Structure 1
Amino acid sequence: TKVPTQQVSAQFQQAIVQQFPNVSIIDLALVLQILNDLISKIGFVVRFMAGLSISTGIVVFIASVFMSKYQRIRETVLLRTLGASRKQIFAITALEYFFLGILAAITGILLGLAAGWVLAKYTFETAFHLQLLPIIILVLMVCLLTVGIGLINSRGIVKRSPLEVLRNEV
């Protein structure tokens, strides 16, 4: 049964025990509260680990973008030598990083969805529901972050003349 307060529950339990002494009464509210606390703690741990994984991935991503700066220098020098303007180089760089962001986001989302589906179906034995809005927001955020970091990283390269860059390289 469900009763509104603890006091009413205690009175109800006493009345049942007095009337039916061989009936055992188990207060499920306490059991449910303990289970709810346990599930909340497990959820916090899962969210924390997901946040830690995402943070680590962002740090690795930023490091890889900065490591590819030397390759970008050579490409930019070649494009500038061939007559490309700063706008064209920024557009090429932005498109390159946009596609890199799309590829990273789609790969990560597909792996996450596959893992979520496996957990839902085989571990928790529940139905898996796909929500498109968070996925679209995540793809856009990853693409914007990738393009932003890439353009910030490439900003100093475009400002220098090709001759100056080649002198520093040799």
Structure 2
Amino acid sequence: MPRPAVAPPARKVPLRKLLRAASVACGVQFGWALQLSLLTPYVQELGIPHAFASLVWLCGPLSGLLVQPLVGHLSDRLAPASPLGRRRPFIAAGAASIAAAVLTVGFSADLGRLFGDDITPGSTRLGAILVYLIGFWLLDVGNNATQGPCRAFLADLTGR
């Protein structure tokens, strides 16, 4: 009776290295948590009616539909071209995008004043809303651009 084939022993990855690589996902999850907990009330504070706030949330699925497959395809093809590896350039670009988006969203009311928004209470601030929407979209793109390569990086690292 033939013996079943045994898989070769998996390459050991030090726990410290695995934790460092997995910590990248903390930044991505921070971006998603920021959107879910803070940004809907903030968009209403800027003057977007509650009925239209749900339209703002279309940014995530639409950017995920486009960005994740594109970034995945590009990062899989980058191996010989980059000394940083296949995933790190996309993780770095996504992290920079997340940082820029958080700053844009955080200062959207102030930036709206530069565009001539009225600061009286209860007024709709169109400039701030536009800056906010750009920052919100950028945050979604950054999260989606970073999430796929982070997962693939962990898979590359562990060899599974």
Q: Give the TM interval when normalised to the shorter protein.
A: 0.3 to 0.5
Name whichever structure is richer in helix by fraction. 1
What TM-score, normalized by structure 1, do the two folds share? 0.36
- TM-score scaled to structure 2, two decimals? 0.37
